[in-house]
A and B are shown apart, each in its own frame.
Chain A
């Protein structure tokens, strides 16, 4: 079955770089697109960006200058790197499998990232 799992450090220092990994199973990254979505506690989710099935990327313009998404298809992994983190980047980060019909069709369990010194 389709599964996605996020991993990465729970705590990041202000101004540092966040690196997260999304490991997927049950589908191929060359057939489906994967997005990163984050959610501050008590607030609505925010779409960050997408790794398309063909290797292209798309980013939320609000984050584009700080964000990079890449993948390793041999390991079934999608990576997120975001630099210059600030306290308002604190929240739960999810990876999702996208569907043009169903939207964000499958979600990982999420990983909580806290930006604090």
Chain B
């Protein structure tokens, strides 16, 4: 099973600040997927195929990485971006998720 380790666990950012969340895989994966989840809601697809934005995702978000190291970056933090972000791998079963990074507004 591929274990995904996200860091940091929690991060607080001010509006306009740049934010980077990382996800490290215990074995190499071909692509990384990211989901955004707000309290009481289902996870939403956010970034797929490592760097492609899902429909409706603002272009201040970006994704990058390869092999065992991936990241999600918000160029300029906005209030609505406060949420928990999960990375997920599709390369092998079981499809595993990271434990999440909670992004809070400072």
Chain A residues with a Cβ under 8 A of chain B = 35, 43-47, 58, 60-62, 94, 100-105, 107-110
Min C-beta distance of A106 to chain B, whole Å? 8
Q: Which residues of A contact B49 (CB under 8 A)?
A: 101-102
B54 contacts the other chain (CB 8 A):
yes
Q: How far is the CB of B47 from chain A (nearest CB, A)?
A: 10
- Total B residues in contact with A, Cβ cutoff 8 Å: 21
Q: Is the CB of B48 within 8 A of A109?
A: no
Residue B88 is within 8 A (CB to CB) of chain A in the complex: yes
Instruction: Please tell me which one of the listed residues A47, A107, A110 contacts residue B95 in the complex, with CB atoms under 8 A apart.
Output: A47
A12-B104 Cα distance, complex, nearest whole Å: 34
Contacts of B45 in A (CB 8 A): 102-105
Interface of A is mostly: loop
**B86 close to A (CB within 8 Å):** yes
Q: Would you mind naming 9 contact pairs between A and B with Cβ atoms under 8 Å apart? A: A44-B97, A47-B96, A60-B94, A62-B1, A100-B90, A102-B49, A103-B95, A104-B33, A108-B42
- In the complex, the answer to whether A107 meets B96 with C-beta atoms within 8 Å is no
Interface centre among B33, B43, B48 (most CB of A within 10 A): B43
Distance (Å) between the CB of B61 and the closest chain A CB? 15
Q: Contact check, B35 vs A104: say whether CB atoms are below 8 A apart.
A: yes
Q: Which of these, B1, B48, B93, B98, contacts A44 with CB under 8 Å? A: B98
Cα A109 to Cα B97 in complex, Å, equals 19
> Which residues does chain B contribute within 8 Å of A35, judged by CB atoms?
95
Q: Which residue of A lies closest to B34 (CB)?
A: A103
**In this assembly, does B99 line the interface, its C-beta being within 8 Å of a C-beta of chain A?**
yes
Q: Which residue on chain B has the smallest CB distance to residue A94?
A: B42
Which of chain A's residues have a CB closer than 8 A to the CB of B60? none
Known contacts being A43-B99, A44-B98, A46-B97, is A103 close to B90, with CB within 8 Å?
Answer: yes
Q: Are A62 and B94 in contact (CB under 8 A)?
A: yes
Look across to chain A and name the residue whose beta carbon is closest to the beta carbon of B86. Answer: A44
Distance between A29 CB and nearest chain B CB, rounded to angstroms: 19
CB nearest to B31 among chain A residues: A103
